[in-house]
A = this chain, B = another copy of it.
Amino acid sequence: MSIDNSVNGTSSTTVLNSPFLKTIVRQIRGQDTYGVYRNWSDDLILKPYVVTKQKKREISIEGEVDPITQARIMAFYQAVAACIEQETGLISHVVVDLSHEGFGWILVFSGRLLLVARTVRDAHRFGFDSLEKVAEEGAKLIEKGIDLAKSFPEVGKL
């Protein structure tokens, strides 16, 4: 177990085995100006990313996506960007453009290359069936992004 985990409580093997999940945790802790999460375990920090189908049905998609959900989406894609950067050295920007109805675009780009380009719907309900699914989805996006960055390095560095 790393020092980080012994300080912040235990983490499940899912988190320990996923560089992506660890990066999300690092993103969130890094922005934790007021120390809210200081004594939380990694699992507890990641818990809001798990939203069961049942739970999704209960979340209203009326009105604005609430700021906490928006921050959660942002941290997810910033972690994708950070993992791509670690592999390729490309520094990227994350742009999340959600309409009041919870749909829109999520873009991660470096230079003139879009590493991630997704449309979203029902952003209010952003979440996954399990922590494993979060890790899987992140890994898929990272792999695709690294692929693109390696295929078109001259565009990524523009």
Question: How many protomers of this protein does the assembly include?
Answer: 2
Among B97, B104, B109, contact of A114 (Cβ-Cβ < 8 Å)? B109
- Shortest beta-carbon distance from A124 to chain B in Å: 18
- Shortest beta-carbon distance from A67 to chain B in Å: 11
Cβ–Cβ < 8 Å partners of A113 in chain B: 112-114, 155
Number of interface residues of A (CB under 8 A): 19
Q: How far is the CA of A111 from the CA of B96 in the complex (A)?
A: 17
- Report if A120 contacts B (CB, 8 A): no
- Report if A16 contacts B (CB, 8 A): no
Contact B105 A93 (CB under 8 A): yes
Cβ–Cβ < 8 Å partners of A107 in chain B: 95, 107, 109
Q: How far is the CA of A154 from the CA of B19 in the complex (A)?
A: 31
Contacts A/B (CB < 8 Å), 7 sampled: A95-B104, A95-B107, A109-B114, A113-B113, A113-B114, A148-B158, A155-B155
11 extra interface residue pairs, beta carbon distance < 8 Å, beyond A113-B155, A152-B154? A95-B104, A95-B107, A96-B97, A112-B113, A112-B114, A112-B115, A112-B117, A112-B152, A113-B113, A152-B152, A152-B155
